[in-house]
């Protein structure tokens, strides 16, 4: 159950690109999300972390319109996406993985370092003698 109130935007008058407001999702009495709110501003990176079962995939499924929140609103450029019909276009489907654990090949997921791509060392012309 995700109950954390995430970082609330930036100071100033710039409207967020994405605003999640008090989103809750309940599945037959099981609370998956409880009052999740955050802002995401253009050009900024926002991370979403938490343990298994915290509601990360549920939140992404709400953002991609696979799930309808029980409460709250999701605004994209100031307009609610919840009033739009949920579509299954190739563009929206590619943004919504069915399970977050399938993002990386299973053979590399045995450790955290195996799941995080690491850049190769830069080639240099110098040699160590």
Domains of the chain: 18-103 (3.40.50.300)
> What's the Cα-to-Cα distance from 112 to each of 4, 45, 101, 105, rounded to whole Å?
24, 21, 12, 13
Round to whole Å and give the CA distance between 20 and 120. Answer: 37
Question: Residues 6 or more apart from 17 whose CB is under 8 A from it?
Answer: 40, 41, 42, 76, 77
**Two tokens, residue 96:** 């919504």
Contact 109, 115 (CB under 8 A): yes
Mean pLDDT per 10-residue run, the chain (129 residues)? 41 83 95 96 93 95 94 95 75 50 48 59 57
- pLDDT value for 67: 94
pTM of the model: 0.60
CA proximity to 20, closest of 52, 84, 54, 64 = 64
- pLDDT value for 103: 47
- pLDDT value for 60: 95
- pLDDT value for 7: 43
End-to-end CA distance of the chain: 56
């Amino acid at each position: 159950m995700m109950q954390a109130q995430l970082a609330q935007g930036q100071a100033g008058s710039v409207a967020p690109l994405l605003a999640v407001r008090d989103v809750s999702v309940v599945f037959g009495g099981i609370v998956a999300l409880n009052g999740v709110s955050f802002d995401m501003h253009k050009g900024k990176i926002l991370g979403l972390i938490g343990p298994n079962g915290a509601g990360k995939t549920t939140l992404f499924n709400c953002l991609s319109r696979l799930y309808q929140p029980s409460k709250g609103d999701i605004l994209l450029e100031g307009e609610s996406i919840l009033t739009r019909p949920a579509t299954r276009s190739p563009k929206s489907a590619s943004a919504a993985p069915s399970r977050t654990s399938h993002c990386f090949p299973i053979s590399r997921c045995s450790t955290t370092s195996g799941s995080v791509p690491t850049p190769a060392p830069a080639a240099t012309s110098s040699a160590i003698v």
